Amino acid sequence: MLKAQPLTTYARQHLLLKSGFVAKHPHAWLVWLATEAQGDASGAADTWVPGQTAPIAVGDPLCFELAGAPRLRLGSGNDCEVKVVAPGVAPEHCVLTQEGGSWHVAAGESVPSVMVSGNPVSAGIAVALSSGDQLVVGGVRLSFLTAQGFASRVAQAAAKL
């Protein structure tokens, strides 16, 4: 399972590493802004890896570094590498795959669809992801970012600390 960390953790790290941030985190990312308005903040605390001691702060995005495997399952199930517990998220909602340096997403067999920047993705059909794409899984919206895109977002957050 990939560990979810709040954006402020990476913002503080960016303040220390500056230009070395991308070298330390060279992978693509999913960023989940769990908000009360979206109705998906209730399960955000369950997204943490067991043993995590910091409480989740609504409004501080959770960040998943897509590292460690070329195929990652995203869903609410305990066996998913990217665990997101929120209303409407199936146990294995979608699969992210990395092929030739690019990431793709396909909906799971038991879900009607996944949305990528407003376009539906059906089961078994992999769609390429671009930095900045919005991935809607159940009632959750995640941003897909390349390493450079994530570093820019983190730099913006660091400037506000």
Share of the chain above pLDDT 90, in %: 51
Per-residue b or e along 105-119, where b marks 16 or more CB atoms closer than 10 Å to that residue's CB:
bbbbeebebbbbeee
Q: Hey, what are 15's tokens?
A: 């303040």
Summarize the confidence of residues 7-26 as an average pLDDT: 93
pLDDT at 28: 95
Summarize the confidence of residues 22-43 as an average pLDDT: 72
Q: Hey, what are 114's tokens?
A: 């996944």
pLDDT at 34: 65
Give residue-wise pLDDT tens across range 114-125.
899 999 998 888
pLDDT at 78: 87
Give residue-wise pLDDT tens across range 127-148.
999 999 999 998 888 999 999 9
Residue 5 has pLDDT above 70, yes or no: yes
Structural domains of the chain in order of their starting residue, each with its CATH number: 5-159 (2.60.200.20)
Number of H helices, E strands in the chain: 4, 12
Task: Give pTM, 2 decimals.
Answer: 0.86
